[in-house]
Structure 1
């Protein structure tokens, strides 16, 4: 369905965002790591409770909801798949960033999830995490690395991905049930997106 020019109503109880898909087809020039005491560790067969907690802490302010709505079986099928790698960025012994690399599509790597908690935004931790993500993605036999973000995410997300070497190639509109209305997210999450019930 093609949306007409002009305004289109979003039903009450729903949220809408503009999704931007970005890709790179060759490794970008390496960017220096910012100074910081972060570390990255691969988490093999992540415990579902651990994953859900980190997913929530990284994404709640941006209304990340897709994984929060999955059953345990659905979530485990993805994050325990042999072609999916999950990493945690840690600071002072606490996991504060999430990186998920999805190699299930031959010749491609999707940054399935990428982000840091609010306490690390603006510290350089995301640059450190992106440097590690691109090193790991391009260490495999891939010809494309891609990611998508949306207007519910941090306002600098698209620019950050472009500075990292990604180029936009597709735009979509996503409409979904507001996760704050069904208890998937707290009602006070993502204050920059008003609830219209």
Structure 2
């Protein structure tokens, strides 16, 4: 069985493109913190907890060493939103050649969706993409921030990016195998 998946690629080409979201009204307990120590265990937890019900599967078979390699690259950062000490979601940044920064992954755990945390996390994460070179010796200043999202990522994903000032620069439609994903553990979203 296959499903039709639309993928949108979006970008900002100036820090002035960013239109920040207001923090959630009930967000007194929301903190966004950089996970500065590369931890494959924690990153894999975030990946499966956020992506398990929306079919993220491209990293599921990665061995520990591959996770470590990606997390230790210069300009690789993970920023985590916490709600009163509990991880609510994350955004992963990856520096690329020529001052380009990709938002590799972004999302919220299911229990935290619909609470206006996503716009706030995307705003903060995008701002951190624009000032990435300030934290990494040898990286050029950011000239472009880009991301891709797809129709599997949820009904509000594209709109959230567009409200934050991202512009669509490419759209692709493909057929993909509809494969189950385990979530943080088998049966978690069943």
**TM-score between the two structures when normalised by the length of structure 2:** 0.82
> Following superposition of structure 1 onto structure 2, how do residues 12-91 of structure 1 map, counting pairs within 5 Å?
12=1, 14-27=2-15, 28-35=18-25, 36=27, 37-91=29-83
Structure index of larger Rg: 1
User: Match of 2:130?
Assistant: 138
Query: What are the superposed Cα offsets for residues 107-138 of structure 1, whole Å, 9 maximum, x if unpaired?
Result: 11111111111111111111110121122111
Deviation at 1:96, TM superposition (A): 1.6
Structure 2 distance, partners of 1:177, 1:73, is: 27
Deviation at 1:184, TM superposition (A): 5.6
Structure 1 distance, partners of 2:95, 2:166, is: 18
CA RMSD, 1 decimal: 2.2
Report the more deviating stretch, 120-129 or 171-180: 171-180
Report the more deviating stretch, 24-33 or 65-74: 24-33
Task: State whether structure 2 residue 110 is matched by structure 1 residue 105.
Answer: no
Structure 2 distance, partners of 1:178, 1:73, is: 28
What count of residue pairs does the alignment treat as equivalent? 176
Query: What are the superposed Cα offsets for residues 13-58 of structure 1, whole Å, 9 maximum, x if unpaired?
Result: x554111100111122444323202111111233222211111111
Listed as ranges, the gaps of 5+ residues in structure 2 are 134-140
> Where in structure 1 do 4 or more consecutive aligned residues deviate above 3 Å?
173-179, 183-189
Structure 1 distance, partners of 2:47, 2:175, is: 21
Listed as ranges, the gaps of 5+ residues in structure 1 are 1-11, 192-197
Deviation at 1:72, TM superposition (A): 1.8
For the structure 1 residues 173 and 73, does the alpha-carbon distance in structure 2 shift closer, same or farther, using more than 3 Å as the test? Answer: farther
Structure 2 distance, partners of 1:95, 1:188, is: 17
Q: By percentage of residues, which structure has more helix?
A: 2
Structure 2 distance, partners of 1:113, 1:40, is: 15
For the structure 1 residues 151 and 175, does the alpha-carbon distance in structure 2 shift closer, same or farther, using more than 3 Å as the test? Answer: same
Task: State whether structure 2 residue 102 is matched by structure 1 residue 114.
Answer: no
**TM-score between the two structures when normalised by the length of structure 1:** 0.80
